[in-house]
Amino acid sequence: MAGTEHAHDDHTHRHDHDHRHGPDDRWSRIRHGAAHLIRPHSHESAAKVDRALETSAQGLRALWISLAVLGATAVAQAVVVVLSGSVALLGDTVHNAADALTAVPLAVAFVLGRRAATRRFTYGYGRAEDLAGIVIVLTIAASAAFAAWSAVDRLLNPREVSHLPAVAAAAVIGFAGNEWVARYRIRTGRRIGSAALVADGLHARTDGFTSLAVLLGAGGAAVGWRLADPIVGLAITAAILLVLRDAAREVFHRLMDAVDPALMDAAERALLGVRGVRAVGELRLRWIGHRLRAEVAVVVDGRLTVVEAHRVAVDAEHALLHALPRLTAALVHADPAPLPGTGDPHAALLHHAA
């Protein structure tokens, strides 16, 4: 049996390669070289940028840009709050400020995720991102509770709002700022595989809904309907709860090591396309922050030497790296197929794979 593991987040190897190929592997070598032309893959630390650090940098950039946009939005709304005395707009401003501040725990998580693994934290600190996701979900829940309380309070104690055009303009600014930030965070989070950043984007979207409530409430007040603001506020609270459900589900799946079944399908197809792999046994994928890790057992010809089986395992690991762009580490274990008439217990594995 042979195994291979590449830790691509720190550019270290647990083994030394032997990339020499015989005549029978010439076509495989040509295909592998063509794949490298399309998507380069190097095993030398000086030859490539660490993908884990690169994606963390993208996440941090998204956080700081969105923090600046939401900060400017909150300041603009605060000016109108002082002029109009709008309690609804005050609540929206507080929401925007709180949403901007959620960038702090997530930024801390991204920075922690860059730290190297230790003998205590052998998988590194990527899980800090998932903990930040929990904080964000709790913040969304708090926003929903605050929106509901504000709406009920306004329903029981109606108030007149002055400077309605300014309030409406501030509400539009709040919605536009939050929606832009939401799209940016969600898009970046999905690109780098960060469930916490996606949840943070959904949180920004909830604050955009709150801004719409302020706008619709101002419109209702303009036509003399004093209950417009609290009624719309209750409707927006329900919308926030729906967003909360989606964000909580995404973070929960990540905490439970759930992966998209399409990733499993892509990994199996890549492995079965490797020369020398006769079947795929146990295959596991898990997210650690926004990094993907794989563990797999492949069945190879039982007559191969340890060196030859190791070479197949290395090729299988390369195939996984090319098939799953967010994969940073893979452990590939090679199991020998039973020889005819040996009654090897691995026969059940082959039968199951067939």
Per DSSP, the residues of 190-217 read HHHT-HHHHHHHHHHHHHHHHHHHHHHH
In the prediction, which pLDDT does 51 show? Answer: 53
Q: What is the DSSP string of 256-282?
A: TT---HHHHHHHHHHHHTSTT--EEEE
pLDDT at 257 exceeding the cut of 50: yes
Q: Is the predicted pLDDT of residue 16 greater than 50, yes or no?
A: no
Distance CA 127, CA 257 (A): 11
Question: Are 230 and 313 found together in one domain?
Answer: no
Q: Does residue 241 sit in the same domain as residue 228?
A: yes
Lowest mean pLDDT among 38-52, 84-98, 105-119: 38-52
Please, is 16 exposed, middle or buried when counting C-beta atoms within 10 Å of its C-beta (0-12, 13-18, 19+)? Answer: exposed
- Range with the poorest average pLDDT among 39-43, 57-61, 181-185, 267-271: 39-43
249 and 269 inside one domain? no
pTM above 0.75, yes or no: no
Residue 196 lies in a domain: yes
Q: Are residues 263 and 251 in the same domain?
A: no
The residue out of 255, 290, 321 marking a domain boundary is 255
Query: Which of 201, 236, 255 is where one domain is finished?
Result: 255
Measured in degrees and rounded to the nearest 5, phi and psi for residue 335 equal: -105, 135
What one-letter code names the amino acid at 191?
R
The CA angle 87-235-197, to the nearest 5 degrees, is: 85
Q: What is the mean pLDDT of residues 1-27?
A: 46
pLDDT value of position 23: 46
Residue 236 and residue 273 share a domain: no
Q: pLDDT tens-digit profile of 152-173?
A: 887 787 777 677 788 888 888 8
pLDDT of 17 strictly over 50: no
Q: What is the CATH number of the domain that holds 140?
A: 1.20.1510.10
**Is the per-residue pLDDT at 229 higher than 60?**
yes
Domain of 294, in residue numbers: 259-353
312 and 345 in a single domain? The answer is: yes
Question: Is residue 347 over pLDDT 60?
Answer: no
Question: Mean pLDDT across the stretch 111-127?
Answer: 87
Q: Predicted confidence band at 335 (pLDDT cuts at 50, 70, 90)?
A: very high
Asked if residue 186 belongs to a domain, the reply is: yes
184 three-class SS: helix
Give yes or no: residues 312 and 284 share one domain: yes
Asked whether residue 263 is domain-assigned, the answer is: yes
Checking if the pLDDT of 19 tops 60, the result is no
Residue 24 is assigned to a structural domain of this protein: no
Same domain, 166 and 264: no
**DSSP track, 119-139:** SSSTT-STTHHHHHHHHHHHH
For residue 296, what pLDDT is reported?
96
- Statement to judge: residues 161 and 100 lie in one domain: yes
Domain count, the chain: 2
Same domain, 102 and 246: yes
Cα–Cα distance between 318 and 92 in angstroms, integer? 50
Per-residue pLDDT band for 336 (boundaries 50, 70, 90) equals very high
Task: Examine residue 231 and state whether it is found in any structural domain, yes or no.
Answer: yes
**What CATH number does residue 285 fall under?**
3.30.70.1350
For residues 266 and 230, membership in a common domain is answered with no
- Residue showing tokens 């609804």: 88
Kindly report, residue by residue over 178-198, the tens digit of the pLDDT. Answer: 889 889 989 988 888 787 788
Last residue of a domain, one of 220, 255, 290: 255
Residue 42 inside a domain? The answer is no
Domain match, 301 and 215 both: no
Question: pLDDT: is 265 or 11 the higher one?
Answer: 265
